[in-house]
Amino acid sequence: MAITLSDDHAIPSQPLSPRLTTPQVWGIVLIAPYLLVFLAFVVYPVCYGLWLARAPSNYVALYNDPIFARAAVNTLIFLVIGINIKMLIALFLSGFFAQQRTWIKWLSVIFILPWAVPSIPTILSVRFMLNPEWGMVNHLIFNLTGDDGPNWLNDPTVALTMAIGVHIWKSLPFWTLILMTGRLAIAQDLFEAAEVDGASWWQKFRYITWPSLQTLYITCSLLSMIWTLGDFNSVYLLTGGGPADLTHVLSTLGIRYLRLDQLSLAMASIVCAIPFVLPLMYFMMKRLSR
Amino acid sequence: MKLPTLREVATETRLLLIGIPVFLWTMIPIYHMFLFAISPKEDAFSGKLWPDHPTLHNFEIVFKQQHYFLRDFYVQFWNSLVIAAAVGVLTLFIATAAAFSISRLRVPGGRIVMNLALFTYFIPAAFLAVPMYRTMGNYGLLNNHWALILAMVTIASPYAIWVLKQASDKLPVELDEAAVMDGATTLQIFRLVYLPLMMPSLVAIGTYAVLLAWNEYLYAFLLLSNDREITLPVALGNFLAADDSPWELLMTTGFIYALPPAAIYYAFRRYMVGGLTAGAVKS
């Protein structure tokens, strides 16, 4: 044993009570700080929030608010279309980055940048690029075609697409990295054997890569959906929910109500999402606690 | 020298056809930010790909705080720094203690606590922000750095505990048993056996918590509002309040703000990738 302990001659620990040994008492002491944080900043806010959202009139108000319906639809588009596109690209790029080339190694170091830098300056940078009068994108369009480019963020569909694009830009490196780690864990001799048998790249993917990767891929998709529900920055910093509050998602809408001092509406809009999120959260918890 | 075969050339070309778009996609927003930082205002707004007169004047304005939006730059930078450091230290303390308790001491109910923490980890951050804002108000902490520190510790600890628990489950039980045989107390095991062996994971988690706090925008902007209390990201968001925002200064400040996390990330990349992705891949 390489570890030597200090020379104190500690007396073998005496049980403090008939039921708890000294290590167990220490166990309780050491877990207490987290429990305190959990009670004060998770249990209390959640219960208080649910209590605030209890009145049925809140839900009637939400039902009558067209912005809420629009935000719910936008959230669905963001999750169902945005996340699936992102994960498919991540799956594809993970294969690209798993190639053993020096320049690809270097590219992967650069590729991680969006994940490593804070989102505020980069999203604002994209926002200015899309500025209809001064932005670089429309300058390029003008120089190439002689026409004025579109007013990107003034059309709700385009603006939401751009917000999804910004989200993908920011989080694609992380998921690519995870899927790449998963790919590298697959035994290489399987591919060598397939190569000898003359398998095409699609057959190798279909019969070797995908079966080993699908659990990870689905887990990542679900996890990404949960996190994307809480992604406030991509929409708020790019479009601010505009034009005319048409690009809100649930996370920015809750904050919008909060800023308008309609706390119970804010909570109610979140409560509406709970039936969809809770099963996902439970599934993920079970998955990770094994 | 062997000439590459046609097949090799084709493969390489295909890889380049993927690699070049990936490079451009990644770099354009970052390059655009950098371009603004080194451009005088006229050049920045003219959509040029490289300024006619590159300059460091914007950095000078920021460092001398010579603009209305920048008058508290150093205070705000300091706020970001202190809050990130405090979140790192507190998260490490709370998470290491909890992971040791759950994994090594097998505290009764430890599994339940782990599940509760994991459950918290999956609450979308923007959803928790709404009641958290009100809670901090009830505790009388609004506009106080502690509000942001405690909120970020709450968000960082579940994942920290989970990663540390995974790592400490891998340490052999015999280590603890041998130490107990030698007469070590629980605290001595923690300090002299557990902490040294956990160092790589602790570095990863400390970095994770510091970066999380440094990068946080939503909670910072909800919980802090006074100009001398806010962190840098909130100050950056406040630039947008004016119609004629000085975007070249905004991007310069943003560039300065983005440098430390990028540097930390690359310095600890070895630990980050190993420590943080291992858990995800396992599931």
Examine the pLDDT at B47 and tell me if it is beyond 80.
Answer: no
H, E, C per residue of B112-160: HHHHHHHHHHCCCHHHHHHHHHHHHHHCCCCCCHHHHHHHHHHHHHHHH
Q: Supply the pLDDT for residue B43.
A: 77
Q: Supply the pLDDT for residue A24.
A: 84
Q: At what angle do helices A136-145 and A119-129 cross, to 10 degrees?
A: 30
Does the distance separating the beta carbons of B129 and A254 come in below 8 Å? Answer: yes
At residue A183, what is the residue type? R
Does the distance separating the beta carbons of B127 and A270 come in below 8 Å? Answer: yes
Q: Supply the pLDDT for residue B275.
A: 53
Does the distance separating the beta carbons of B127 and A120 come in below 8 Å? Answer: no
Q: Supply the pLDDT for residue A3.
A: 42
Q: Supply the pLDDT for residue B274.
A: 56
Which residues of chain A are within 8 Å of residue B166 when distances are taken between CB atoms? none
Q: Supply the pLDDT for residue B139.
A: 93
C-alpha R_g of chain B:
24
Distances from the Cα of B79 to the Cαs of A57, B83, B91, B236, in angstroms?
41, 6, 18, 14
Distances from the Cα of B123 to the Cαs of A51, A228, A271, A282, in angstroms?
18, 11, 12, 10
Residue-wise DSSP of A90-108? HHHHHHHHTS--HHHHHHH
Which residues of chain B are within 8 Å of residue A223 when distances are taken between CB atoms? 122
H, E, C per residue of chain B: CCCCCHHHHHHHHHHHHHHHHHHHHHHHHHHHHHHHHCCCHHHHCCCCCCCCCCCCHHHHHHHCCCCHHHCCHHHHHHHHHHHHHHHHHHHHHHHHHHHHHHHHCCCCCHHHHHHHHHHHHCCCHHHHHHHHHHHHHHCCCCCCHHHHHHHHHHHHHHHHHHHHHHHHHCCCHHHHHHHHHCCCCHHHHHHHHHHHHHHHHHHHHHHHHHHHHHHCCHHHHHHCCCCCCCCHHHHHHHHHHCCCCCHHHHHHHHHHHHHHHHHHHHHCHHHHHHHHHHHHHHC
Does the distance separating the beta carbons of B277 and A177 come in below 8 Å? Answer: yes
The CA distance from A169 to B24, in Å, is 11
> Which chain B residue lies closest to A222 (C-alpha atoms)?
B122
Give me the sign of the Cα torsion angle B112, B118, B123, B128: positive
pLDDT, average across residues B22-44: 89
Residues A11-21: pLDDT tens digits? 444 445 556 77
Q: Is the pLDDT higher at A290 or at A113? A: A113
Q: pLDDT band for B276, please (50, 70, 90 cuts).
A: low
Alpha carbon of B216: minimum distance to chain A alpha carbons (Å): 8
Note if the bond before A118 is cis, omega within 30 degrees: no
Examine the pLDDT at B200 and tell me if it is beyond 70.
Answer: yes
Distances from the Cα of B193 to the Cαs of B94, B168, B173, B177, B179, in angstroms?
18, 11, 12, 11, 8
Does the distance separating the beta carbons of B95 and A117 come in below 8 Å? Answer: no
The CA distance from A4 to B168, in Å, is 19
Q: pLDDT band for B231, please (50, 70, 90 cuts).
A: very high
Does the distance separating the beta carbons of A112 and B101 come in below 8 Å? Answer: no
The CA distance from A236 to A215, in Å, is 33
Which residues of chain A are within 8 Å of residue B255 when distances are taken between CB atoms? 121
Top-ranked range on mean pLDDT: pick from A241-245, B73-77, B120-124, B246-250: B73-77
Q: Supply the pLDDT for residue A6.
A: 42
Q: Supply the pLDDT for residue A1.
A: 35
Examine the pLDDT at A212 and tell me if it is beyond 70.
Answer: yes
Q: Supply the pLDDT for residue A241.
A: 83
Does the distance separating the beta carbons of B186 and A31 come in below 8 Å? Answer: no
Q: Supply the pLDDT for residue B281.
A: 46
Which residues of chain A are within 8 Å of residue B281 when distances are taken between CB atoms? 178, 181-182, 185, 216
Q: Supply the pLDDT for residue B102.
A: 93
pLDDT, average across residues B19-36: 93
Q: What are A253's two structure tokens?
A: 């809408």
Does the distance separating the beta carbons of B150 and A37 come in below 8 Å? Answer: yes
Pick B277's closest partner by Cβ from A107, A181, A266. Answer: A181
Residues A120-151: pLDDT tens digits? 999 999 998 988 888 888 888 888 888 887 88
Does the distance separating the beta carbons of B132 and A288 come in below 8 Å? Answer: no
Does the distance separating the beta carbons of A26 and B150 come in below 8 Å? Answer: no
Pick B217's closest partner by Cβ from A28, A226, A233. Answer: A233
Examine the pLDDT at B278 and tell me if it is beyond 70.
Answer: no
pLDDT, average across residues B248-266: 91
Q: Supply the pLDDT for residue A8.
A: 43
Pick B23's closest partner by Cβ from A9, A107, A285. Answer: A107
Give me the sign of the Cα torsion angle A223, B277, A124, B71: positive
Q: pLDDT band for B282, please (50, 70, 90 cuts).
A: very low
Which of B36, B62, B186 best tests the A interface by mutation, with the highest count of A CBs <10 A?
Answer: B186
Q: Supply the pLDDT for residue B171.
A: 87
**Phi, psi for B230 (deg, rounded to 5):** -70, 160
Q: Supply the pLDDT for residue A18.
A: 59
> Which chain B residue lies closest to A10 (C-alpha atoms)?
B183
Alpha carbon of B193: minimum distance to chain A alpha carbons (Å): 7
C-alpha R_g of chain A:
25
Examine the pLDDT at B257 and tell me if it is beyond 50.
Answer: yes
Least confident of A180-189, B39-48, B75-84: B39-48
Q: Supply the pLDDT for residue A32.
A: 94
The CA distance from B21 to B23, in Å, is 5
Q: pLDDT band for A2, please (50, 70, 90 cuts).
A: very low
Quick check: B103 and B169 in contact, CB under 8 A? yes
Pick B127's closest partner by Cβ from A27, A125, A251. Answer: A251
The CA distance from A167 to A202, in Å, is 29
Distances from the Cα of A54 to the Cαs of A46, A71, B48, in angstroms?
12, 21, 55
Does the distance separating the beta carbons of A48 and B135 come in below 8 Å? Answer: yes
Quick check: B107 and A41 in contact, CB under 8 A? no
- The C-alpha angle with vertex A225 and arms to A224 and A227, in degrees rounded to 5, equals 65
Q: What is the count of residue pairs from A and B with beta carbons less than 8 Å apart? A: 310
Alpha carbon of A37: minimum distance to chain B alpha carbons (Å): 6
Q: What is the mean pLDDT of chain B?
A: 88
Alpha carbon of A115: minimum distance to chain B alpha carbons (Å): 9
Does the distance separating the beta carbons of B110 and A121 come in below 8 Å? Answer: no
Closest CA to A168 of A50, A86, A55, A281: A86
Residue-wise DSSP of chain A? ---------PPPPPPSSSS--HHHHHHHHHHHHHHHHHIIIIIHHHHHHHHHT--HHHHHHHHT-HHHHHHHHHHHHIIIIIIHHHHHHHHHHHHHHTS--HHHHHHHHHHTHHHHS-HHHHHHHHHHHT-TTT-HHHHHHHHHHSSPPP-GGGSHHHHHHHHHHHHHHHHHHHHHHHHHHHHHTS-HHHHHHHHHTT--HHHHIIIIIHHHHHHHHHHHHHHHHHHHHT--HHHHHHTTT-STT-S--HHHHHHHHHHTT-HHHHHHHHHHHHHHHHHHHHHHHHHHH-
Does the distance separating the beta carbons of B281 and A8 come in below 8 Å? Answer: no
Q: What are A8's two structure tokens?
A: 């104190």
Q: Supply the pLDDT for residue A23.
A: 81
Q: pLDDT band for A10, please (50, 70, 90 cuts).
A: very low
Pick A34's closest partner by Cβ from B98, B134, B261. Answer: B98
Alpha carbon of A85: minimum distance to chain B alpha carbons (Å): 15
Q: What is the mean pLDDT of chain A?
A: 86
Q: pLDDT band for A281, please (50, 70, 90 cuts).
A: confident
Which residues of chain A are within 8 Å of residue B157 when distances are taken between CB atoms? 34, 37
